[in-house]
Each structure stands twice: as C-alpha cells, then as structure tokens.
Chain A
Amino acid sequence: MEKFTTLKGIVAPLDRANVDTDAIIPKQFLKSIKRAGFGPNLFDEWRYLDHGEPGRDNSHRPLNPGFVLNQPCYKGASILLARDNFGCGSSREHAPWALEDYGFRALIAPSYADIFYNNCFKNSLLPIVLDGTIVDRLFNEVATTPGYSLAIDLTAQHITTPTGARFSFEVDAFRKHCLLNGLDDIGLTLQHTGDIKRYEAHRQTETPWLFSYPGGTIDDDVSSIVPPG
C-alpha cells in the first residue's frame, strides 16, 4: 500500500448527503475482475449524460456540465468535501478504488458509512471526519475561493486552510500507523500466526461442531445437481 503522510490539494465539493456506493461506481463496472481502471467511471451516472458500460472509451462521452467534477476549477482535485453518511450502501471496495483511481487521496465529511470508511484505509485514501459546522464552513469557503486548497498532515492530525485556520481530526492509532508506513494488513496479521493457531486449537475444543462441516469438503457429493430450469 502507498504511504500517506501529508497532502496539499484542490478541494472539490459534493454537496449532498447519503451519497451511496451505487452512485460512486455503478454496478455494471463491478463486472471487472481487476482492481484498477475505475476512475473514468467514478460517479458515472452523474458525470456523463449517456449510459456508461464497461470497456467503453469514456473520453468521447458527453459530460454533464452541471456536475461538480466537470467544472474546470476542480480539475486535478485530490480532496473531496462531502456531507453526512458518505459511502452508504453496498460494501463494494470498487468505490474507494474509483475515488483513488480518479485522483482523490483524502475525503472530508461529517460522517461516513462504516464499511466504506474501513475500505478507504485499505487503499491509502484518508477519510477525515470533521464536525458538521466546520464542514459547512469549508463548503462556504470552497464556493467563494477559486482554487481553494487544503493542507492535510496525518502525523499531526490536522488540516490547514489557505488563510491558516487549522482543524484537528481523529484517526485510530493503528490505522494511522498503517497509512503512514504503507503497511500491508495481511503481512502484519501473519506475524501473529502463532496466536491464530492457538486460538483455533482452543476453539476446536470449545466448539467442535464449527470444525466438522458434513458438507464442507471439496469432494462434495454432486449427485444432487440438477439444473434449476
């Protein structure tokens, strides 16, 4: 995973609550078996005037001029300012993949949906939670300041506005450590293989039925297979 330490970037405002992951990346793009390449279809149904399909060249599609990311002043934005419950709905990690692939490295909102929030940290995308009144103020400043940008310092856990106002944010110590160092979760967990094995042995004694699935072998009986019509 890529490290995240500091970031200075243009802020794009998405002024609506409950932005769901279906809106962030519509379902037809989930058919991809790859992890990259979702950026051109980020917010596809809001961003383009026609219907998008996977594998299509997006560069000639008609853009929706009313959508915020199509406005020239937000070109190259790396920070997305959003409202409450951002990323609600499906658990698709394609949502943070699409945001990251588009060029966003950080999000700012009063709240996020739990699964989405968690998925962001796995992709060096920093979801910052700020109080609703501060978020309101940032929306106002973005609207009135061309080229509005913010500086984010993860180590110090604060953001700084162009006029020097500073707001601190909370982040779990473990998640911060992983982001700052670009650590791979699986590699970290596998350092505790002994703990997992000990737990498993104990659990096998306590709840043996969870370790003897009658149908759970790969040589499953396939005689019951009939086409469902």
Chain B
Amino acid sequence: MTGKTLYDKLWDAHVVRVEPDGTTLLYIDRHLVHEVTSPQAFEGLRLAGRKPWRRDANLAVADHNVPTTDRDKPVADPVSRLQIETLDDNCAEFGITEFKMNDVRQGIVHVIGPEQGATLPGMTVVCGDSHTSTHGAFAALAQGIGTSEVEHVLATQCLLQKKVKNMRISVDGALAPGITAKDIVLAIIGKIGTAGGTGYVIEYAGSAIRALSMEGRMTVCNMSIEAGARCGIIAVDDTTIAYLKDRPYAPQGKLWEQAVAAWRALKSDDDAAFDKEVQLDAAGIKPQVSWGTSPEMVTTIDGRVPDPMQEKDSVKRGGMERALVYMGLKPGTAITDIALDKIFIGSCTNARIEDLRAAAHVARGRKVAKNIKLAMVVPGSGLVKLQAEKEGLDKIFLDAGFEWRAPGCSMCLAMNADRLEPGERCASTSNRNFEGRQGQGGRTHLVSPAMAAAAAIAGHFVDVTKLQVASSK
C-alpha cells in the first residue's frame, strides 16, 4: 500500500461522514471572518433562528474596507462604515471574538491568524476569502469559501466537499541573493498557469521551500489560488514550530508538548503518490514582474513584453492582445523601460515583517523617484506595524518618501480610499493584476517587496539583485 500525502492525512482526520457519491461532511477547526463576505451569512442565521455551532472556533476582523489613514476618526465612506459596523454588531450578537478596527491586533485576516497562533498545524481553516490558502504554510488544510458556506460553517462547523487531487511542486536548490518567495510563486504560476492547480491541493516541497521562513512560506501558499488551487500546503518542520511557540492562541505547557508531537507527523509519507508532480530549479529563478492582466502573464526583469502574434492558440492570443491594450504596453518593450506612477507595498501576500524589512533594506538612504506620485507601505497588522516601528523601518520609508499607513487590505483590492486612477501604473506586492483590481482602469504589475521598493527609487522596474550588488560595493 502506498503512503499518504499531507493532504490525505489532513482530509482523513476531518471526515465526519461521507455520502454515496463521495461528498463529505468535513469538520472545520478554525473559521476566520471578515466584514465583506459575512453579513449575508449572519443574516441567514438570524432568519433561520440558528446560532453558531461553536463560537470559539471563530475569529473576526475588519480588513477589506478599513481606511489606512485617520484611524482615530469615524470611517468617512458611509457604505464602508455600515459594513464594518455590521460586523461589529454581528460579532456582539453572536458572541464571536473580534479584533476591532483600532485594536493593535487588527490587520489583514490572513496576517493575524498565524500571528496570533489562531492558525495551527493539522487544522482545517476556512474564511470567506480566496487567499485563505495562506494558512496552508502551517500544514493546515486552509481554503477560501463563499458566503453560503460561511453560513454553513457558522451553523454546523462543517463544510460539504469532495476530495480533490494531489499535486506536489518541488523547488530545489538555492535561490540567488535578492530572490524571494514572491519570485518563486510567480515563477510557478508562470509555469503551470492560472488554472494549472484547479482541482488539486498543491503541496510545496523541496530544499528551497524548506529554507524559507514562515513569512516566505505564507507568501507562496497565499498565491496558490492564483494558480487555481484552493489550498497550498507545506509540511511541518522546526521553522513551523519555532514560529508558533508562545503565540497568544497557541497551546501552552503540556498541551504544547502534546501538540508538537502530533504536528511532527504532518508531512507526506516518503512513498506517497501524487497525481501530478512539477519541478522547479531555484537557482534559475530571476526577479519576476507581471506584464498583463492575469498572474500567469509574468516574465523576468531582464525580459520583454511578449508579442501576441507568436501565440498560436486564438483564445490565448485574444487574451494577450486585450491585456496589452488594457496595460498600455507594446510587444517587445523591455520590462526595465516600464515607468511607474504608484508603488504599493502591502497585502496578505507581502505585508509581514520580513517583507517590510526587505523593502526597507532597498529603500534605506535612497529617495523615491520624482515621477512616482505615491509610494505607500501598508503593514499587514497593527503588530507588524509596531514591530517595524521598533526596528526603525517606518523612519527609513518616511525618509525615502514613502507613506507609512495603518494596516488593512488597502490597494490590493481598492475597497477603501486607496486606489489607482484610470491609466495609472503601479508596482504592487499584491496578488492579482486583474483589470480594475486596484481601481478602474488601473494597471498593476505584481512584484516582490524588494522589487517594488527598487522600482520606487528608480521610477521604473530595475533588477533588485544588481542594485543590491551595487550598494554593497
């Protein structure tokens, strides 16, 4: 008999019952709640006279709508304010723990879960947000769900689901200096495409993944959904356990010892079989920059905007042509010749302390270029912000001409006031370059925090690995 994959183990441990066609009632250990996808679910509970099955499995925070300035004042946009207040009211009514807007623990839901130790290995984690895949970095089966499922989990502590297939993506070797987790995951998406992981859970493995910090692993798992996979997972190792020790929601004392012993088994068996295997050579990964309107439309910093005429598939060619029109780019343009208007360093992909350190390292002692209208840094949580300020990173950014904001999703999806104007071009550390994602008519290029900082200084894309070499001479 072949062994089990990590996904097999996580799945098997959570099966409550199975229907004849394989539809499974899967138990959910942790439900993270935010203001955008929950109001209709709470309303559904109310209408049916239902209560949450298990209050303490839920943790709520407002992140999508919150402003990143003037947090001591009421939220200016009345529609956003109502949505945030609705979350406050629902959490109070149903007895759910919420970190309110001015709680220092508030932040992007996918940053605060791990930061609090509310995400633990072996858990099933859900949230009404597709980037819930982030939490898979802790060997948790973590996935985004819709609002009907939010209501279902609130009411039953379960999800109805069929098991999907196993994919393993192995990244082996050593990354070149200046290359980060963001470059790894963009390179993966460039290779397998935005639907490459559809119908799979992706396990990331290999020496380059094991060498990543938890922050880096979260960046990789975060963008699994951009490769089409609802979940990305990484096995438990010492890095995982060291990160979780003494976090507020993590077990303590004897329970900690007991938990750690169980977590050590959360890895795929050596003889486990995968339905699909993908290999990447870490040493070959260069800084990545997206050029189009889908995360798979990505190239390297030394690359050029591709020519749709070279594409044989007519549907793909049409997509490329539309993307180039939307992005205002011509085939053959060198990526380093693309000038920018705005810089966004933030989001659940890249707003953790390590991301801010990497960006500050590049920005230190330099100035944002004159053509950049706005360069903003939005920490992932109040605690990330505090830590960065302790390290003096805020001063580095402010001295360089960046704005230092309060935590939230901000310009990743532009639900608050932070957005691109039509035609503006942005180097962004976020996860989606879809049309209109950062504001109607806005043009997004996805990059790592170091690459975004370097682009802010230069005013156009530059190879951060060369910049760092130059600065260390």
Contacts and interface: CB of A to CB of B under 8 A. Distances in A.
Interface of A: 15-18, 20, 22-23, 26-28, 30-35, 45, 51, 54-55, 83-85, 88-94, 96, 111, 113-115, 118-119, 122-123, 172-175, 185-186, 189-190, 192, 195-196, 199-200, 203, 207-218, 220, 222, 224-229
A174 B19 contact: yes
A113 B86 CA distance: 30
A215 B195 CA distance: 38
Given A91-B37, A192-B17, A227-B102, A215 B71 contact: no
Contact of B228 (A17, A85, A210): A85
Interface in B28-73: 29, 36-37, 39-40, 43-44, 48, 50, 53-56, 59, 64-65, 71-72
B103 A225 contact: yes
Nearest to B102: A227
Contacts of B43: 33, 35
Contacts of A225: 100, 102-104
Contact of A228 (B37, B80, B104, B413): B104
Given A33-B40, A88-B195, A215-B248, A228 B145 contact: no
B127 to A, nearest CB: 8
Interface stretch (B150-158, B205-213, B278-286, B367-375): B150-158
Q: What DSSP secondary structure best describes chain A's contact surface? A: loop
Interface in B377-395: 382, 385-386
A220 B82 CA distance: 24
A211 B258 CA distance: 13
B261 to A, nearest CB: 11
Give the contact-size bracket for chain B: 35 or more
B97 A91 contact: no
B195 A123 contact: no
A92 to B, nearest CB: 7
Contacts of B130: 89-91, 115
Contact of A209 (B160, B258, B407): B258
Contacts of B157: 196, 200
Interface string B114-138: 0010101011000011101000000
B17 A18 contact: no
Interface in B1-34: 16-17, 19-23, 25, 27, 29
A167 to B, nearest CB: 20
A185 B453 CA distance: 47
B237 interface: no
B64 to A, nearest CB: 8
B148 A214 contact: no
Nearest to B414: A27
A130 B245 CA distance: 49
A74 B436 CA distance: 25
B40 A35 contact: yes
Contacts of A174: 19, 21, 23, 160
Contacts of A215: 97, 116, 118, 248-249
